[in-house]
Amino acid sequence: METIIVTGGAGFIGSAVVRHLVAKTDYEVVNVDKLTYAGNPESLNGVDNNPKYHFEQVDICDAVELRRVFDQYRPDKVMHLAAESHVDRSIDGPAAFIQTNIFGTYTLLEAARGYWEKLHSNERDNFRFHHISTDEVYGDLEEKGERFTEGTPYAPSSPYSASKASSDHLVRAWFRTYGLPTIVTNCSNNYGPYQFPEKLIPLVILNALDGKPLPIYGKGDQVRDWLYVDDHARALIKVVTEGAVGETYNIGGDAERKNLEVVKLICGILEELAPNKPSHVERYEDLITFVKDRPGHDKRYAIDATKIRSELGWTPSENFETGIRRTVRWYLENQAWCRRVLDGSYRRETVEKQASNTGP
């Protein structure tokens, strides 16, 4: 049985990957997560007691602990998802993004290289370091028909995307210079169950249910290519197991929508599935509120996923209409999870558990 290390496995995309690996593959899974505010162990309920699953609360910037994890579990593959990922937070405080996304990736690469260089030849050939990145490293698009390809030049706009672009370059340099067998993927905007409520889609769903304003930057005419998170998880596992070393694969849902269109679609689904609104709300759409645009806001993203479709045979199973309906329904049916995130109780319990494990 092979072993995969997943960094950031308690986050939104990482937990989807972990759930898929544990439920649908034979891999042993080691979740390496620092458990920052975006890491929620409750997103792994149902797999956390599986004998194939192991959790290590480790910061990817901690070289000593990373070496211990590699030596203890002897992984065949690494899927690197741990990252600071919220653009607004990167504008307000870029230091954490530089530390985690750049220095953390460097530290993980060095731990992986030190481990890989000591492997026997057949184990070295089988090893993979899969770095999961974002389409935001490409900047934005002007022409309506234009899409990001694997050869699109980098032009990041925010501290977040600049830090991810830096980490992408590090991964490719470790392949070119040291021969570490790396693969890079760049994905479009993810949505689906267990997403932290600071992101657009869960924020709109939960605010609407509470009768709060639905904030939209500018005119809401920014275009994003949306990808259902479980489709992304399948793609990532396809890449780490079948992708070619040294290659990059763009992963997109072929679902471009303006932000305002997304919000109005969610409101329409809520009218159907949650018609009992707060007393002051006549229509969910009435809660839409336009706010000042963020600095350097990219206008449009769109992914050309031809390569992963043609070379690896991956296609998304959800279109945006089916995926967003499933997402809205999940949030309606999992209000307890949502409230524990919103009131911070999930975080307090995590901190308390950390303290009890540390001892006096």
Q: Is 129 left (phi over 0), alpha (psi -120 to 50) or beta?
A: beta
Catalytic residue among 28, 76, 135, 140: 135
Catalytic residue among 53, 106, 160, 284: 160
Q: 298 pLDDT band (50/70/90 cuts)?
A: confident
Alpha helix segments (H runs only) across 179-228: 200-210
160 is known as an active-site residue:
yes
Catalytic residue among 42, 76, 136, 168: 136
For the residues 187-205, what does the mean pLDDT come to?
Answer: 94
Chain Cα centroid distance, residue 89? 15
136 is known as an active-site residue:
yes
Q: 356 pLDDT band (50/70/90 cuts)?
A: very low
- List, edge to edge, every strand of the sheet that includes 223-228: 189-191, 223-228, 256-258
DSSP of 142-173: -STT--B-TTPPP---SHHHHHHHHHHHHHHH
Q: 349 pLDDT band (50/70/90 cuts)?
A: low
254 is known as an active-site residue:
no
- 317: its two tokens: 């199973």
CATH, range 3-191+227-254+300-320+346-358: 3.40.50.720
pLDDT in tens, 250-263: 999 999 999 999 99
More confident residue, 343 or 317: 317
pLDDT in tens, 219-256: 999 999 999 999 999 999 999 999 999 999 999 999 99
b/e burial code for range 286-321 (CB count within 10 A of at least 16 → b): ebbeeeeeeeeebebbbbbbebbbeebebebebebe
Chain Cα centroid distance, residue 15? 9
Q: Residue 66's pLDDT is what?
A: 98
- Which are the contacts of 88, defined by CB distance < 8 A and separation ≥ 6? 198, 294
pTM more than 0.75:
yes
- 72: its two tokens: 């203890």
